[in-house]
Structures are given as C-alpha cells and as structure tokens.
Amino acid sequence: MLLIDDLLLLPGRFLGMVFREIYNLVQEEVNDPVTVQKGLLHLQLLYEMDEISLEEYEEREAELIARLRELRKQDKA
C-alpha cells in the first residue's frame, strides 16, 4: 500500500520541486544588481524616446536606485 501511495504522490512532489527551483531562480534574478542596472538603462531609454514623462522617470529611477543601494549594502554585509 505504501508503494502505491508514493506513486500517487510523486507528481505532486515533483511539481513542488519544480516550483521551488523556479522561485529560487526568480529570487536570484530580482536580487541581482546587474538586473537593476539594466532596469535603469531601460528606463532612461524610455524617457529619451518620450515613452514616459519626466515625473514617471524620476519616480521610477528613485525606486531603482534605492533598490540598487539596498542590494549593494547586502553584498557588503
């Protein structure tokens, strides 16, 4: 009976393992300073192409710079 239970639970365990791995990869991407720097470059490009207003640019830039500083503090600690 235990073998049958293990076989029935196997797909759920596998799916859980896959979702944990995806979560870990996303966390690495989000917490990567290079990703934030790319976001700043993309934001600047949007502003220069008049895709966003100056106010939106400044607001989003401040958020990204704060995030970058936070990540750099974490790297030093």
pTM, full prediction = 0.68
Low-confidence ranges of the chain (pLDDT < 50): none
Q: Give the helix ranges, DSSP H, for the chain.
A: 2-30, 33-48, 54-76
Looking up tokens 């990540």, which residue turns up? 71
The set of residues, in sequence order, having a beta carbon less than 8 Å from that of 60 and lying 6+ positions away, is: 43, 52
Per-residue pLDDT of 37-58, as tens digits, reads 999 999 999 999 999 999 999 9
